Amino acid sequence: MWAQATTEALKIIEGKWKIIIICQLFAAKAPIRFSELERRIEGVNQKMLIQQLKQLEKDAIVSRTLYPEVPPRVEYALTDLGEALGPSMTALIDWALLRRETLGIDPS
| Per-position b or e across 25-53, b if 16+ CB within 10 A of its CB | beebeeebebeebbebbeebeeeebeebb
Question: Within a 10 A sphere around the Cβ of 17, how many other Cβ atoms?
Answer: 19
* 97 part of a folded domain: yes
* 83 part of a folded domain: yes
> Model's pTM, two decimal places?
0.89
* 88 part of a folded domain: yes
**Angle subtended at Cα 23 by Cα 59 and Cα 98, rounded to the nearest 5 degrees:** 120
pLDDT at 27 (0 to 100): 94
Mean pLDDT of all residues belonging to the chain: 94
Question: For residues 102 and 108, what is the distance between their CA atoms, to the nearest angstrom?
Answer: 16
Nearest partner of 77 among 6, 29, 9, judged by Cα: 29
* 8 part of a folded domain: yes
Give me the domain span that covers residue 95: 2-103
Number of domains in the chain: 1
* 108 part of a folded domain: no
pLDDT exceeds cutoff 80 at 57: yes
Question: Helix (H, G, I), strand (E, B), or coil: what is residue 54?
Answer: helix
pLDDT exceeds cutoff 90 at 1: no
What is the average pLDDT across 95-103?
94
Question: For residues 69 and 85, what is the distance between their CA atoms, to the nearest angstrom?
Answer: 32
pLDDT exceeds cutoff 80 at 60: yes
* 11 part of a folded domain: yes
| CATH number of the structural domain spanning residue 8 | 1.10.10.10
